[in-house]
């Protein structure tokens, strides 16, 4: 019975290690700026509760797009977005926003012009099978992980995403229209392993190998005694 206790403890620990950590949350809002040098404009996102004062926003009354040289305001907006959630056209006049959602019906892709939202889509509209979305403690995810370069083509003002149920969607950021919506072509790794990224497969395999090695070492040590 005593021999079984350490093995049981290791097995329980392995279950907790393999399971993903769901205790996630977004960082506190912070102010930032995005320049559009070719057009001589800059977008300032400002917040009163600035935990990370990267820029001085005391001279800016509101979030919005400004002329770089004169700080003449072009448009303003009230809503806060994190920098990584925004995808601008080259002149800064239009942008798309993809943010966290708590329900399947919330707006997951939103389109703005002159700081005003004019079109949006929910995950239920973009996915063929919304039940494939994944959940965490604070939100749900409806799309595959992609590098920003894969998602965003600023020169052509397009946004391209792949949903968790394998639907490829390409949007025109200037109009908010869906340019393409079709079944995504799976990679060889996805054909073999499904939609799970390889790094997600490697982590549990590594943990299993470490646990197996530990159990083998423990068994050898016990036999010597």
Domain enclosing residue 192, as ranges: 1-25+188-225
The C-alpha atoms of residue 96 and residue 107 are separated, in whole angstroms, by 12
Q: What is the pLDDT of residues 148-204, one digit of tens each?
A: 999 999 999 999 999 999 999 999 999 999 999 998 765 544 544 555 555 556 677
64 and 47 co-located in one domain: yes
Q: Are residues 130 and 176 in the same domain?
A: yes
Whether residues 125 and 163 fall in one domain: yes
Do 82 and 166 lie in a common domain?
A: yes
Q: What is the DSSP string of 130-156?
A: GGG-EE-SS-EE-B----HHHHEETTT
The pLDDT tens digits of the residues spanning 92-145 come to 999 999 987 766 567 899 999 999 999 999 988 999 998 888 876 566 788 998
Q: Same structural domain for residues 34 and 128?
A: yes
222 and 114 assigned to the same domain:
no
- Assess whether 88 and 56 both reside in one domain: yes
Domain total of the chain: 2
Structure tokens at 125: 């509209």
Edge-to-edge strands, sheet with 152-153:
152-153, 158-162, 167-172, 178-183
> Is residue 61 located within the same domain as residue 109?
yes
Q: Is the pTM of this model over 0.95?
A: no
**For the chain, what percentages of helix, strand and coil (3-state, to nearest 5) are there?**
30, 30, 40
User: Which residue from 162, 134, 123, 130 is spatially nearest to 146, judged by alpha carbons?
Assistant: 162
Residues 119 and 167 in one domain: yes
**Is residue 176 packed enough to be buried (19+ CB in 10 Å), middle (13-18) or exposed (0-12)?**
buried
Question: What is the DSSP code (8-state) at residue 101?
Answer: B
178 and 192 belong to one structural domain: no
């Amino acid at each position: 019975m005593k021999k079984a206790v350490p093995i049981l403890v290791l097995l329980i620990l392995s279950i907790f290690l393999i399971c993903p950590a769901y205790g996630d949350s977004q960082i506190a809002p912070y102010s930032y700026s995005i320049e559009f040098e070719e057009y001589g404009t800059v977008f300032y996102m400002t917040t009163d509760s600035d935990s990370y004062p990267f820029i001085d926003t005391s001279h800016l009354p509101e979030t919005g797009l400004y002329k770089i040289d004169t700080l003449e305001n072009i448009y303003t907006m009230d809503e806060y977005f994190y920098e990584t959630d925004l995808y601008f056209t080259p002149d800064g006049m239009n942008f798309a926003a993809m943010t966290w959602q708590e329900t399947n019906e919330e707006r997951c892709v939103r389109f703005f012009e002159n700081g005003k939202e004019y079109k949006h889509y929910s995950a239920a509209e973009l996915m063929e099978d919304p039940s494939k979305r994944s959940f965490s403690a604070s939100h749900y995810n409806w799309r595959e992980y992609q590098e920003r370069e894969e998602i965003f083509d600023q020169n052509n003002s397009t946004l391209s995403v792949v949903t968790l149920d394998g639907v490829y969607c390409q949007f025109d950021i200037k109009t908010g229209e869906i340019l393409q919506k079709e079944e995504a072509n799976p990679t060889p790794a996805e054909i073999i392993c499904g939609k799970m990224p390889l790094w997600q497969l490697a982590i549990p395999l590594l943990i299993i190998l470490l646990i197996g090695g530990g159990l083998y070492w423990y068994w050898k040590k016990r036999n010597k005694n």
